[in-house]
Amino acid sequence: MGTPDSLKLQIGIFGAANSGKSSLLNFLTNQEFSIVSDVAGTTADPVRKTMELPGDGPCIFIDTAGFGDGTELGSMREEKTIESLKRSDIAIAVFSADTMADTSWYEKIAKTGKPVVPVLTKYQKRDSNIEEKIQKLTGKTPVPVNTKEQIGKQELLDTIIKAIPKDFNNRMVTANLCKEGDCVLLVMPQDIQAPRGRLILPQVQVIRELLDKKCSVMSCTTDMYVQTLSLMKDAPNLIITDSQVVKYVYDNKPQASPLTTFSILMAANKGDIKAFKDGAEAIKALKSGSKVLIAEACTHSPMEEDIGRVKIPRMLKKLVPDIMIDFVRGTDFPNKLLDENGNKKYDLIIHCGACMFNRTYMLQRQKEAASAGIPTTNYGVFISAFNNILDKVQIPE
């Protein structure tokens, strides 16, 4: 199994239309991957290409539609570009001599606070005026590149590597909850939503990390949980369970064994766990007329008893029978969380574990919700709060 896209460094390539973004992607990957043309709007949807960064592993370069595209579909293409910006860990800002008249698009990059690598494409000879303008705009000296003459590749790659956030992928999924020598029990129901013959991604990540930590790992399905505990000489140092059976696992666990869920672990790994925990407090304020948005990263077809489409809505309706619920999947997240009068569209957002998203993207969603004054929580946090055991499960630091 290769590295999941959600764990790869994501590097977006942004700039004005016809600034040389697609040529730059081909240049970096040594492939004619993106279509290159002088016609404005050639790149419509984002183009993603995986490659290895020397010494830093796999990354994904994202070629995007240019800002300032005056074609009929330009605004729709720009929305896709902004979506790619939200997902990017690093932004390559592409400038060229013939697109310097309007650099207002760069404000969209700058306000994200992401690491930026400015690049001057179509480089022929040193032009101090252009370079100074780029430096004044970005605060950094641009990397000069000529894709046709193969100039500047190594300098650009070196600059990208230096821009990688120091904490990128340094977060442990199990965090401070276990240590070398601990015995960890995983309760993993294999229901209809689990791919036949495989484990779901959070389970795979947790097992691999526990092995790396030199922990002893035992696993069982829910129906074998009590029997598995009886076979163990000592109580496990930690129990990790699927959120859907957390109440049953809690009710039957040894008193000495701490408990958490895969979804809570993913919430802490991919997002701001404190905000998710605080967001669960909003459950108490839900009332008739309240509106909830359920967001999931996966785009699978909903199965019978789907957690996001069936089980969590059922829980919500037990709390408030006439509550209103909307659903979004994948990258289909509302661009605006306030209506035209400045009112919140939702009283609560409940998000999945986001195992298919990178941390940058999940934090961006939480940031947008917080800006609109809308609390967010996570599937696992919500279910534990619903069962009145949130204060009894372990939350990673």
Could you give the CA distance from residue 189 to residue 191 in angstroms, rounded to a whole number? 6
Domain extent, residue 33, equals: 5-163
Average of pLDDT values for 35-60?
72
Same domain for 292 and 341: yes
Q: What is the CATH classification number for the domain harbouring 316?
A: 3.40.50.11410
- 20 closest CA partner among 10, 1, 34, 3: 34
Domain boundary among 133, 163, 193: 163
- Does one domain contain both 261 and 284? no
**Residue 318 β-bridge partners:** none
**Does the reported pTM lie above 0.75?**
yes
**39 in a structural domain:** yes
CB 382 within 8 A of CB 283: yes
> What's the maximum distance between 2 C-alpha atoms anywhere in the chain?
75
Least confident piece of the model among 100-104, 238-242, 277-281, 306-310: 306-310
Q: Which of 265, 291, 319 is the last residue of a domain?
A: 265
156 and 203 inside one domain: no
AA letter at 98: D
pLDDT of residue 170: 81
| Residue 165, helix vs strand vs coil | coil
Pair 117, 143 in one domain: yes
Task: CATH number of the domain at 261, please.
Answer: 3.40.50.11420
Are the CB atoms for 339 and 345 separated by under 8 Å?
yes
Helix axes 379-386, 262-270, angle to 10 degrees: 130
Among 215, 233, 265, give the residue marking a domain's end: 265
**239 and 313 part of one domain:** no
Q: What is the pLDDT of residues 276-292, one digit of tens each?
A: 999 999 999 999 999 99
Assess whether pLDDT exceeds 60 at residue 40. no
**What is the predicted pLDDT for the residue at 37?**
46
Q: Are residues 101 and 143 in the same domain?
A: yes
User: Considering only 18-32, 90-104, 311-325, 368-382, which range has the smallest mean pLDDT?
Assistant: 18-32
What is the number of structural domains in the chain? 3
Q: How confident is the model at residue 191 (pLDDT cuts 50, 70, 90)?
A: low
Q: Kindly state whether residue 43 falls inside one of the protein's structural domains.
A: yes
Q: Quick one: average pLDDT of 169-195?
A: 86
Claim to verify: residue 221 and residue 308 sit in the same structural domain: no
List the single range of 73-77, 143-147, 225-229, 303-307 with lowest mean pLDDT: 303-307
Distance CA 175, CA 170 (A): 10
Quick check: 53 pLDDT over 80?
Answer: yes
**pLDDT(123) > 70:** yes
Q: Mind listing the pLDDT tens digit for each residue in 211-270? A: 999 999 999 999 999 999 999 999 999 999 999 999 999 999 999 999 999 999 999 999
Residue with more model confidence, 70 or 310: 310
What mean pLDDT is predicted for residues 44-56?
83
For every residue of 277-301, DSSP letters joined together read: HHHGGGGGG--TT-EEEEEES--PP
CA angle 376, 377, 382 (to 5 degrees): 145
Residues 104 and 188 in one domain: no
Residue 154 domain-assigned (yes or no): yes
| Residues 154 and 279 occupy one common structural domain | no
Handedness of CA 316, 319, 325, 330 (dihedral sign): negative
Regarding whether 253 and 115 lie in a shared domain, the answer is: no
Same domain membership, residue 332 and residue 259: no
| In a domain? residue 170 | no
CATH number of the domain within which 105 lies: 3.40.50.300
Q: Taking the mean position of all CA atoms in its chain, how far away is CA 359?
A: 4
